[in-house]
């Protein structure tokens, strides 16, 4: 259970860092830059825990896939970025891949 809490924290920290990254303007804005660096540092620190017990490829696939889905939701809901049908289909495929890995793969410690 602790592994998945660290995994979730890594995903959330990465989404926070990426959201702030969109506002750094070449790292000329202090607070978005600080949030970006701290967010990514926290994400990698949290990610180091699941990597102790889960295969690297699986961890990275789930971390990046979930991050893509969440950052897209943040951009859509928070910043009014539009998504067309190909984008929605692609996101659905990413989400399906994350679900298949977590539900059906024997590579993931359940």
Please report whether residue 70 resides in a domain. yes
Task: Extract the tokens encoding 58.
Answer: 């699986």
Domain count across the chain:
1
8 in a structural domain: yes
**Domain membership flag for residue 22:** yes
Select from 101, 97, 10, 87 the least CA-distant residue to 58: 101
The answer to whether position 110 is within a domain reads no
Whether residue 27 lies inside any domain: the answer is yes
Residues 36 and 21: beta-carbon distance below 8 Å: yes
- Tell me what pLDDT residue 41 has: 98
In a domain, 87, yes or no: yes
Q: What does the pLDDT look like over 31-53, one tens digit per residue?
A: 999 999 999 999 999 999 999 99
Q: Which domain holds residue 21?
A: 2-104
For 48-106, what is each residue's pLDDT tens digit?
A: 999 999 999 899 999 999 999 999 999 999 999 999 999 999 999 999 999 998 888 88
């Amino acid at each position: 259970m602790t592994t998945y809490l660290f995994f979730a924290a890594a995903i959330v920290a990465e989404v926070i860092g990426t959201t702030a990254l969109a506002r750094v303007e070449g790292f000329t804005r202090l607070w978005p830059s600080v949030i970006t660096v701290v967010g990514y540092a926290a994400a990698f620190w949290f990610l180091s825990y699941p990597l102790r017990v889960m295969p690297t490829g699986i961890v990275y696939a789930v971390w990046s896939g979930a991050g893509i889905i969440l950052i897209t939701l943040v951009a859509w809901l928070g910043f009014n970025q539009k998504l067309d049908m190909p984008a929605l289909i692609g996101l659905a495929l990413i989400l399906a891949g994350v679900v298949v890995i977590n539900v059906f793969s024997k590579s993931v410690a359940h």
